[in-house]
Structure 1
Amino acid sequence: MMQTVAIGWLMATASTSDLMVALVQAASTLPSFILSVFVGAIADNLSRRGIMLVGRSLIAAASAILTALIALGFADPWVILGVSFVIGCGVALNDPAWQASIGDIVERRDIPPAVTLLNIGFNTIRSVGPALGGVAVASLGPLITLLLSTLSFAVPLGVIWRCKWSVQSTPLPRERIRTAIYDGARFTAISSVIKAAIARAALLGLAGIATLALLPLVVRDNLNGGPTEYGMLMAGFGSGAFFAGITAGHFRRLMSLEWLIKLACLACAACSASLAAASSVGAAATVLALGGAGWVLAWSGLGVSVQLASPRWVVGRTISIYYALTYGGIAAGSWIWGSVAENYSLSWALVGSAGALVLVAAVGFGLPVLENQDTDHDPVEGFEAPAVAVELRSRSGPIVVRIQYEIPDEKTEQFLALMHQRRRAQSRLGARHWTVERDLQEPGHWTETFRTPTWTDYLRLNHRRAAADKELNEGLLGLHKAEHPPVMKLSIERPAGHPRRADHIAPFIARI
């Protein structure tokens, strides 16, 4: 936060362009939009703690480089944006891995208060850091402030280095990055809960970032203040976020998650509109406290929704997609509202942001955010790989799975309704090209068919099954009329038109 104040004020004094000031937010958030999906796939396959160490190290290194450049007199606006982008890359590495680690550290029932606690911690620092940053910039200058913030990055690095937490192991090899990204994107696309949370988060970032992105201009142009006043206003924002955070549990008991997010968006809208008319630091700090309260309640609620809707095997990827589109919205919003402020006026930008936030709240009537607290995503243990008569390697495939059912005519509609759920469930777990077929000569004979790219992917699919998937299987079994359970057949695809390379090589070697 001290670094944020120093960089924001440094840009406000180094450039006369309102757009360049707003682009500091865009430069620091754009890497999360570009890199988060890739980082999420890594976080689900490698050590999340190790990824956090790399990300934090990059943040510290970039901060040290910026400090050195300022000391040498290179206070160019484009240099500031470039280093801000590198710092954003470190954040893009750290944040998805850190958020995905929450479920490794606490029980599922404790995820909502844990997410809120993280927001309280961050926004407590938001209420103290900017004030210290403003005082430091005013009394010591931006260079010393950047030096102090650079030295402070050793603290989280040391904490991550010393703290270790257990992670559920898997007997299967790591997924290939390309497959992991594909599976994560497909799971997110299928989950209506996650899609709603991501869409609302992107819109909230797009509409609501104007308050923070344009705050240096409010201080400089509307209030005729300096870095001390900027720090005081940021402290007001953080104080509101802190008090909202510690009362978030009470709010959740009073209303649904969706209504909480609606009210939070309206609070942010009121803050943005009132800030445009604020004529004193005290009035601006008061309305910013309201905005900070709405800000932390909205983001906590959206983060909880994504966390609870994501199984542990894919949580890094869903959170990374959530971060990518959220930061994409924030980066786009910083550019849009900065352009409006430069081409029209600062007041127009803030009032426009307020109107957009009201629309984001209204979107909730058609695209509500849900909290799946009762859904159990933990995998059910006990799966044993079926015996096969063909020698298979981990990369052997594609594997074709066929499950045959005998369904009475009077239960056809029930069966198809369950199959609709089955398709979504199997596809979320990694099944591809899923179909259900009805025998034309024996109408009671139905076949469910799907594919996995490799034998390992088939095993991974079954290791991912949760209690809800088991209940669905039991429902289908109840409709099956034959005495024996549904017959499952496994096969491996082989192209008929083109012989395998080994078929050509073996005769040649024999002749030699």
Structure 2
Amino acid sequence: MSTAPPSPSSQPPKPDSAWAPLAARLFRALWITQLVSNIGSWMQMVGAQWLLIGHDAALVTLVQTASSLPVVLLALPSGVVADRYDRRGVLLTAQLAMLAVSGVLTALAFADALTPMLLLVLTFLLGCGSALMGPAWQAIQPELVERRQLGQAAALGGLNMNLARAVGPAVGGVVVAAAGAGWVFAFNAASYLGIAVVLMLWRRPRTVAPGAGHEKLLSSIDAGRRYVRHAPDVRRVLLRMALFIPGGGALWALLPLVASRSLHLGSGGYGVLLGAVGAGAVAGAFVLPRSNRVLGANGTLCGGALILASVLVVLATVRVPWLGAVALLFAGLAWIGVLSTLNAAMQTRLPGWVRARGLAVYLLVFQGGQALVAPLWGALADRLGLAVPLLAGSTLLLLSAISVRRWPLLGAKGVDDPSPSEHWPVPPLVFEPGPTAGPVLITVSYRVAPGNETAFSDCMDHVARSRRRTGALTWGLYQDGQDPGHFIENYLVASWSEHLAQHSDRLTGTDRRYEERARRLLVPGTRPEVTHAFDASSGPVVPATTHPSWKGDGAP
């Protein structure tokens, strides 16, 4: 599906080095151009927020909402697009669209015609471009580096963003103070060209995901939603993010107001404060591996929330700029610690077939949460002053830290194995249904050993989640009233192509493990009997006598 990355330099880093992925020329070129683009994005954010500083606090915080809200609207469709269509084309389209929007923003700024409403609308459109490219950008990483280097590649991606966070705001603040916001918008527009050029030079074959032509947009979205709903590990990651982001988002929503109203800084000083957060995040990227070894993932989540809660208390009470900057160093360290831990947990819990859609849901909770809480914090600041929302955010973070004990990330024994497992053979039907034929009713008959009935029923609860994750619309388990050892499982999938997807690429090691546990409780020497039945309301597809049951090895 992918092409091999260009050959590395003559003296590449060692394979286990943190810098090893940079030996691949395509990854290196995209990493460098992405760094420039991220710096431009942070410069643009500073310019946009500073243009609105003289207005109500709620209007200032709407810049963050305008940037994040598109993820709420487009996250799931973007994940489907990234799973179904040529990812290079998706990324290139998004870059060129953002270049055009940034060009309009720059022209209006230089013409002194940029009203607050226009600024927010154009910021929203830039956010739409970012929402479109987010899942596709993460999904192409296995095509850029060797599989064993994916961990290092993800770490370098985080380092990229935080280097930009350290440099971009400070540079943006200086440029705004010296030359005006128009020039930061112009730099941001130019920064999209680098990524666009690299993508145009990438000779990636146009590919389409298997079965994509038969799966409708809404069906693809529903498949992603269904997987997340029935994956406890994934839901726990999303819960931890949902508990962290309301309080954590107060930092980003209120920081420009803290800079101007509490610390009495200009645009350059605001840029320095954002740079302090970025510098702390860069340091956190190096501290995080040791933190996870010593504290574990849950300890890092708890510690990060406590540190960030303390920082908000400092910002609510101090009026000395250098003390605020020092506190923000720790804010950056805590922020990257929590987000990197949650992102890594999400990546390792998602199988390949639904990874982009699962990450889209993650981005929906992360960015959407910020978009929703930012105007609330701004409105509260307008009514009650800055100290109240900062202390309220600190309280929420404290509660988030306390809740880690009640709702932790699941431990090693509970983590799902997302590696693919093609342990179901293709069912030998006597005819070949069309891809859209359906719905399809799969029935599996089991002979359970005497005394194992309760244990078998408990094991099938896990099997039920497996069926629903991979495509089942309904599921049921029934016990024969005349023969207590005879259990019948049935579930319904929307189409034949959906069921074949279960066979070919949706099953994981976890699914296989749960099925094997249930099968160990059957009468020795027996195997499940499986039938596949098609909707006959408009007439039978084939004569009933020619559609036999299949006594397979337990695979539906």
* Structure-2-length-normalised TM-score: 0.84
The change in CA–CA distance for 1:427 and 1:163 in structure 2 (over 3 A counts) is same
2:84 partner SS:
coil
| Match for residue 263 of structure 2 among 197, 220, 223 | 223
The change in CA–CA distance for 1:105 and 1:262 in structure 2 (over 3 A counts) is farther
| Match for residue 233 of structure 1 among 256, 273, 286 | 273
After alignment, is 424-433 or 114-123 more displaced? 114-123
Alignment pair present for 1:79 and 2:118:
yes
Alignment match, 2:442: 401
For residues 277 and 164 of structure 1, what CA distance do their matches in structure 2 show?
Answer: 55
After alignment, is 240-249 or 206-215 more displaced? 206-215
Please state how far the C-alpha of 1:369 moved relative to its aligned partner. Answer: 2.2
1:247 partner SS:
helix
After alignment, is 41-50 or 230-239 more displaced? 41-50
For residues 346 and 268 of structure 1, what CA distance do their matches in structure 2 show?
Answer: 17
Alignment match, 1:5: 46
Alignment pair present for 1:20 and 2:62:
no
Write the mapping of 1:113-262 to structure 2, written as runs, cut at 5 A: 113-163=152-202, 171-174=210-213, 175-262=215-302
Alignment match, 1:419: 460
Preserved CA contact (<8 Å) 2:316 2:387: yes
1:44 partner SS:
helix
Alignment match, 1:508: none
For residues 309 and 97 of structure 2, what CA distance do their matches in structure 1 show?
Answer: 35
Preserved CA contact (<8 Å) 1:257 1:371: no
Preserved CA contact (<8 Å) 2:86 2:208: no
Preserved CA contact (<8 Å) 1:394 1:455: yes
Preserved CA contact (<8 Å) 2:447 2:526: no
For residues 469 and 386 of structure 1, what CA distance do their matches in structure 2 show?
Answer: 18
For residues 269 and 167 of structure 1, what CA distance do their matches in structure 2 show?
Answer: 47
Alignment match, 2:5: none
The change in CA–CA distance for 1:382 and 1:404 in structure 2 (over 3 A counts) is closer
For residues 345 and 221 of structure 2, what CA distance do their matches in structure 1 show?
Answer: 21
Alignment match, 1:472: 514
* Contiguous gaps of at least 5 residues in structure 1: 501-512
For residues 298 and 114 of structure 2, what CA distance do their matches in structure 1 show?
Answer: 45
Please state how far the C-alpha of 1:165 moved relative to its aligned partner. Answer: 7.2
Alignment match, 2:19: none
Write the mapping of 1:422-501 to structure 2, written as runs, cut at 5 A: 422-463=463-504, 464-481=506-523, 483-495=525-537
For residues 56 and 203 of structure 1, what CA distance do their matches in structure 2 show?
Answer: 32
1:396 partner SS:
coil
For residues 205 and 386 of structure 2, what CA distance do their matches in structure 1 show?
Answer: 50
For residues 441 and 211 of structure 1, what CA distance do their matches in structure 2 show?
Answer: 64
Preserved CA contact (<8 Å) 2:422 2:503: no
* Contiguous gaps of at least 5 residues in structure 2: 1-41, 541-556
Alignment pair present for 1:346 and 2:367:
no
2:351 partner SS:
coil
Please state how far the C-alpha of 1:473 moved relative to its aligned partner. Answer: 2.9
2:520 partner SS:
helix
The amino acid across from 2:533 in the alignment is: S
Q: Deviations over 1:264-297 (max 9, x none)?
A: 1111111111112232321111111110111111
Please state how far the C-alpha of 1:23 moved relative to its aligned partner. Answer: 0.8
Preserved CA contact (<8 Å) 1:104 1:165: no
**How many residues matched?**
496
1:313 partner SS:
helix
Preserved CA contact (<8 Å) 1:11 1:80: no
Alignment pair present for 1:310 and 2:338:
no
Alignment match, 1:290: 330
Alignment pair present for 1:321 and 2:361:
yes
Q: Deviations over 1:136-191 (max 9, x none)?
A: 11111111221122111212223344457799986534422111111111111111
1:437 partner SS:
strand
Preserved CA contact (<8 Å) 2:83 2:209: no
After alignment, is 232-241 or 369-378 more displaced? 369-378
Alignment match, 1:268: 308
Alignment match, 1:44: 83
For residues 339 and 331 of structure 1, what CA distance do their matches in structure 2 show?
Answer: 14
Alignment match, 1:56: 95
The change in CA–CA distance for 1:166 and 1:272 in structure 2 (over 3 A counts) is farther
The change in CA–CA distance for 1:222 and 1:246 in structure 2 (over 3 A counts) is same
CA RMSD for the aligned pairs?
2.3
Preserved CA contact (<8 Å) 1:407 1:481: yes
Preserved CA contact (<8 Å) 2:86 2:207: no
For residues 484 and 87 of structure 1, what CA distance do their matches in structure 2 show?
Answer: 60
After alignment, is 154-163 or 294-303 more displaced? 154-163
The change in CA–CA distance for 1:103 and 1:401 in structure 2 (over 3 A counts) is same
For residues 243 and 169 of structure 2, what CA distance do their matches in structure 1 show?
Answer: 26
The amino acid across from 1:225 in the alignment is: L
Give me the identity figure in percent: 29
Q: Deviations over 1:51-88 (max 9, x none)?
A: 22222222222211111111222121111111111011
After alignment, is 58-67 or 372-381 more displaced? 372-381
Please state how far the C-alpha of 1:370 moved relative to its aligned partner. Answer: 3.6
For residues 34 and 152 of structure 1, what CA distance do their matches in structure 2 show?
Answer: 25
The change in CA–CA distance for 1:316 and 1:140 in structure 2 (over 3 A counts) is same
The change in CA–CA distance for 1:171 and 1:220 in structure 2 (over 3 A counts) is closer
Preserved CA contact (<8 Å) 1:103 1:312: no
The amino acid across from 1:64 in the alignment is: G
The change in CA–CA distance for 1:301 and 1:281 in structure 2 (over 3 A counts) is same
Q: Deviations over 1:416-438 (max 9, x none)?
A: 12211111111111122111111
The change in CA–CA distance for 1:105 and 1:422 in structure 2 (over 3 A counts) is farther
After alignment, is 167-176 or 58-67 more displaced? 167-176
Please state how far the C-alpha of 1:372 moved relative to its aligned partner. Answer: 5.9
Please state how far the C-alpha of 1:103 moved relative to its aligned partner. Answer: 5.1
